[in-house]
Structure 1
Amino acid sequence: MPRTSIPVTKLSDAGVVDPVEQNGDPVNQHALANTGKTVLRVRNAHATLARTLTLVTPVTVGGKAVADTVVSVPATSTRTFGDLSRALYGTNVPVDVETSGLKLVAFEP
């Protein structure tokens, strides 16, 4: 099954309404269109448990896979990711989540 796309909200000098958070999909996982300036915001809605998010690096160097970026998001916390190098993550970043309790939104300047 294809990965679930994370909608990207275009920012402007007129301001934008915060988009509705997308529930994490631990079955199908996610994909994020990436220009290199794309920002991903991840909120852990669980009251007591940290949850894991993985930004998959689909590239290899010298025939060896580059390690994925694995981040633990503490309970009730938000983490924001940016400067996602297209050379490292590509133009469509695979994003893996541990649980639907991770809430995702993305922005593009």
Structure 2
Amino acid sequence: MNDSSTDIEQSEDGEGENKQIVLRLFITGASVNSLRAVTNLKKICDTYIKENYSLEIIDVYQEKGLAEKEQIIALPLLIKSLPLPEKRLIGDMSDTKKVLKGIGISL
């Protein structure tokens, strides 16, 4: 299951620095926490980041090799890979402020 957006908007500083946020959410099938994390994260992204992000949703049951490569120990897990530094957040993404801080967005 993938959901991505490739449109990039100008940054708020108006200088045209387009810094797309690259996110990967690792989930465990259709569990309650996984579905909650997907819903919460999509809402946060659509509200605060608009089209300036890409989101890949990875079910570790279907992508076991990728989960091992990323050394995942707890799920759901959100990895923000770009812009650097990489950040990891664990949980159902219900704490909007924590998620925004984790992906480098300040309110």
- Tell me if both proteins adopt one fold, taking TM over 0.5 as the criterion: no
* Structure with more strand by fraction: 1
* Structure with more helix by fraction: 2
Structure scoring higher RCO (CA < 8 A, sep ≥ 6) equals 1
Q: TM (normalized to structure 1)?
A: 0.27
